[in-house]
């Protein structure tokens, strides 16, 4: 099996529990899933992690731009926590931040990032795009393009993409595969519309899967049919 270069998009919720924005138990589970997956697969892994466990956005007293900047800083906090936990269990990692969100980690540099990836490091991208009004889904696709990833994995709490929310409708129908056009035409809330446009342009496939079922990340990386594949 040839080496795959993969971008994993994690939500901030993968690091938290009901009592803490960054939970030791959730953090340990997440890094152990990553360790299990990369030890059984020929894969070069990069990660984008959201900040929703720390910050959810604008409210009555905080306008949108400031709220987005706070969200980017929240992803730096999560990335540092994830990197520290990976190091603790013996996985080499390094954090790179978008321009404009620096001071704690290195700024993104494509050549340096790829050098780390090829040396077996798990690379974590923090700080979003460095600009407000962009989601971490957009960040994930842009970084996947920049590092020339073969695939993008979106870790969720459901086992794929459905026509309606399966938590609200027991008759929801799951899709095993979709094209980007079908996802847009059906108004499926998988990722932002501009994300699909970028993926269509670069021919990067997206696999949406349940990260919270033990072993699923390893199965996806080993080519098992888990979740829903969205592709051109």
Looking at residue 60, the DSSP 8-state letter turns out to be S
Which pTM was predicted?
Answer: 0.93
Percent of the chain with pLDDT over 90: 67
pLDDT tens figures, 49-68: 999 999 987 777 899 899 99
pLDDT tens figures, 71-118: 999 999 999 999 999 999 999 999 999 977 767 889 999 999 999 999
Confidence of residue 2 (pLDDT cuts 50, 70, 90): low
Least confident of 102-106, 127-131, 183-187, 210-214: 102-106
Looking at residue 147, the DSSP 8-state letter turns out to be T
Contact 17, 30 (CB under 8 A): no
Q: Which two tokens stand for residue 126?
A: 């923090």
Domain containing residue 129: CATH number: 3.40.1160.10
**d(Cα 95, Cα 136) in Å, to the nearest integer?**
15
Least confident of 4-8, 15-19, 172-176, 202-206: 202-206
Q: Which two tokens stand for residue 222?
A: 């080993």
Question: What is the predicted pLDDT for the residue at 1?
Answer: 44
Q: Say whether pLDDT at 193 is over 80.
A: no
Domain ranges, residue 17: 4-231
Provide the number of structural domains found in the chain.
1
Looking at residue 121, the DSSP 8-state letter turns out to be P
State the chain's mean pLDDT as an integer: 91
Strands 228-231 and 177-179: what pairing? parallel
């Amino acid at each position: 099996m040839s080496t795959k270069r993969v971008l994993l998009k994690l939500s901030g919720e993968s690091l938290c529990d009901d009592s803490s924005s960054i939970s030791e138990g959730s953090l340990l589970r997440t890094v152990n899933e990553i360790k299990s997956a990369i030890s059984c697969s020929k894969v070069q892994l990069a990660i984008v992690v959201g900040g929703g466990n720390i910050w959810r956005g604008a409210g009555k007293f905080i306008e949108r731009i400031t709220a987005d900047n706070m969200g980017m800083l929240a992803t730096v906090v999560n990335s540092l926590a994830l990197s520290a936990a990976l190091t603790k269990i013996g996985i080499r990692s390094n954090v790179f931040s978008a321009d404009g969100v620096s001071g704690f980690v290195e700024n993104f540099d494509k050549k340096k990032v790829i050098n780390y990836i090829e040396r077996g490091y798990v690379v974590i991208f923090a700080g979003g795009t460095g600009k407000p009004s962009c989601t971490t889904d957009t960040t994930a696709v842009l970084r996947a393009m920049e590092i020339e990833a073969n695939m993008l994995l979106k870790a969720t709490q459901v086992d794929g993409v459905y026509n309606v929310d399966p938590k609200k409708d027991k008759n929801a129908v799951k899709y095993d595969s979709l094209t980007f056009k079908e996802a847009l035409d059906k108004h499926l809330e998988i990722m932002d519309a501009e994300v699909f446009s970028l993926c269509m342009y670069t021919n990067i496939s997206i696999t949406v899967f349940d990260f919270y079922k033990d072993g699923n990340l390893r199965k996806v990386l080993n080519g098992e049919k888990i979740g829903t594949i969205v592709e051109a």
